[in-house]
Amino acid sequence: MADLRSEARDWIADHWDPNRTLGEWWDELARAGWAFPHWPTGHGGRGLTREDARVVNEELAAAQAVAPPGGLGQMMGGPVTIDFGDDDQQDRWLMALASGQEGWCQLFSEPGAGSDLASVQTRAIRDGDVWIVNGQKVWTSGATSATRGMLVARTNLDAPKHRGITYFIIDMDQPGVEVRPLKQMNGGATFNEVFFTDAVVPHDCILGGVDTGWQVAVATLAYERQGLGSRGAAGGIVAGTPGAKAGHLDVPMSELIERARADRAAMERGQAARSPKSVIALAREQGKNQDPVIRQGLADLYVFAEVQRYTSLRARAAVQQGRQPGPEVSIAKLAASEQARRARDLSMRILGAHGTLMSPDAPNDGTFSQLALSVHGSSIAGGTDEIQRNIIGERVLGLPKEPQVDRDVAFKDLDVGTRSRGS
């Protein structure tokens, strides 16, 4: 470990230069294998462990260097391509992700298939060497700037719903793909609807085989929950959205760093609002820290956050030992959502009527009010709280699965989501 740390430190010292463009830096990181050290050698990594990757990230942070690209493609797409992709697919996609040339989005949820993802109705029909895709996805983050999408689509109506799904990596930049941003109540528009009208995806862009994409989707969701439930940050300075479509790759890093610092400060304020330390400080500022009911709430929030932190550490340790993400990530993800809700409720009780304000002259610049409007999404993104509880009940507590009377019924014979039987 000491030798690895020394090697990474020396390499960063020799190559880090903020006057270079972001694309040049990310490309050099990937070619040297320091972008994602736990990925295969020659594909942006060195075949090391996740613990080794943490050491490299620490050295990037110590040098105040820009971190490797981070996004859904890097968090989920790369790992599932390593797990399920063939050599050609790894050659095509991993280096593009590791060097930030591509950013991916996740095309899973539909208006009639959210928690019950296996009920997806977006259809893909084979036509020679390509598949023709028609349907709709929703709640898709990053679709406006994504190069490709991780798509689950129905390819067999005669098979039961879990066994007639195929997992595609689809090109988002084509006439048959329409992206419509969704305005959120907190003022943002980070989610999108995506409509497919005779969109085309080559046959060689399938991960896991035809009609067997469910296991790939489950693995993707596990990596997503691991990322959402983890409290660890990427090493170094996060600057720019992955993918040439985002328009950051040709910009000098010195310019991006200044933008990133402002963005990161705003993001950290939002994240900090969920922490016991911030809520305790708010109680002091508002003169409520001696209120016995508020004090009890603060103690409850602190204890819950500490338990969550240890659970996240267990999940991280499991991954570092080379094990697939397990039920610990569901527990951590569920706990993160619950902690955010507790912080929201307690901060609103502390603020009282001031909690309705979101202007610069509001308490804490309206940060806690922004939290109150944003926290609902944490119970949905990456799998709803109800789904996490099902996973925990079955895999941790050993409870029987919920009855699934439709598990062996052909999809064409089911009434699911927005679909009527026979349609």
Whether residue 319 is contained in a domain is answered as yes
> Do residue 289 and residue 374 come from a single domain?
yes
The verdict on residue 279 lying in a domain is yes
Closest-CA residue to 123 (of 136, 112, 111): 136
β-bridge mates for residue 105, sequence order = 149
State the CB neighbour count (10 A cutoff) for residue 55.
Answer: 18
Q: What is the spatial distance between Cα 323 and Cα 329, in angstroms, rounded to a whole number? A: 12
Please list, in sequence order, all residues whose beta carbon lies within 8 angstroms of the beta carbon of residue 168, skipping any fewer than 6 positions away: 124, 131, 133, 150, 151, 152, 153, 201, 205, 206, 207, 213
Is residue 114 domain-resident?
yes
Residues 155 and 72 in one domain: no
Q: Please say whether the beta carbons of 122 and 49 come within 8 A.
A: no
Both 197 and 83 in a single domain?
A: no
Mean pLDDT by 10 residues, the chain (423 residues): 90 94 95 96 93 90 91 95 97 97 95 88 97 96 94 96 96 97 84 96 97 96 69 58 82 82 58 82 93 96 90 74 69 86 94 87 85 84 82 88 83 74 55
> What residues have CB less than 8 Å from 393, skipping those under 6 apart?
399
Same domain, 155 and 89: no
- Cβ contact 150:107 at 8 Å: yes
Where in the sequence is the domain holding 118, given as residue range(s)? 104-214
> Is the same domain home to 93 and 137?
no
Reported pTM: 0.79
Q: Does 198 map to a domain?
A: yes
**89: its two tokens:** 């697919």
Structure confidence at residue 232 (pLDDT): 39
| pLDDT for the residue 32 | 97
Three state DSSP letters for the chain: CHHHHHHHHHHHHHHCCCCCEHHHHHHHHHHHCCCCCCCCECCCECCCCHHHHHHHHHHHHHCCCECCCCCHHHHHHHHHHHHHCCHHHHHHHHHHHHCCCCCEEEECCECCECCCHHHCCCEEEEECCEEEEEEEECCCCCCCCCCEEEEEEECCCCCEHHHCEEEEEEECCCCCEEEEEECCCCCCCCEEEEEEEEEEEEHHHEECCCCECHHHHHHHHHHHHHHHHCCCCCCCECCCCCCHHHCCCCCEHHHHHHHHHHHHHHHHHHHHCCCHHHHHHHHHHCCCCCCHHHHHHHHHHHHHHHHHHHHHHHHHHHHHCCCCCCHHHHHHHHHHHHHHHHHHHHHHHHHHHHHHCCCCCCHHHHHHHHHHHHHHHHHCCCCCHHHHHHHHHHHCCCCCCCCCCCCCCEHHHCCECCECCCC
Q: Among 81, 101, 121, where does a domain finish?
A: 101
Which domain CATH number covers 338?
1.20.140.10
Residue 236 falls inside a structural domain: no
Identify the domain boundary among 101, 134, 158: 101
User: Is position 392 within any domain?
Assistant: no
Domain count, the chain: 3
CATH number at residue 49: 1.10.540.10
Q: Are residues 118 and 87 in the same domain?
A: no
Backbone phi, then psi, for 232, in 5-degree steps? Answer: -80, 145
Would 221 be classed as within a structural domain?
no
CA distance 52 to 58: 10
Q: Are 191 and 141 in contact (CB under 8 A)?
A: yes
Do 179 and 278 belong together in one domain? no
The H or E element containing residue 153 is strand 148-154
Q: At 177, which CATH number? A: 2.40.110.10
Same-domain check for residues 333 and 269: yes
Please provide the distance, in angstroms rounded to a whole number, between the alpha carbons at the two ends of the chain: 59
Structure tokens belonging to residue 32: 């040297």
Same domain, 119 and 174: yes
- Same domain flag for 37 and 49: yes
Residues 95 and 161 placed together within one structural domain of the fold: no
Domain boundary residue, one of 164, 199, 214: 214
Same domain, 205 and 275: no
Q: Which residue is it, tokens 């040709």?
A: 250
Structure tokens at 210: 């035809």
Q: 23 in a domain, yes or no? A: yes
d(CA 25, CA 22): 5
Residues taking part in catalysis: 224
Output the six-digit token pair for 278: 């911030």
H or E element at residue 105:
strand 104-107
Give me the half-sphere count of Cα atoms (radius 13 Å) on the Cβ side of residue 193.
Answer: 8
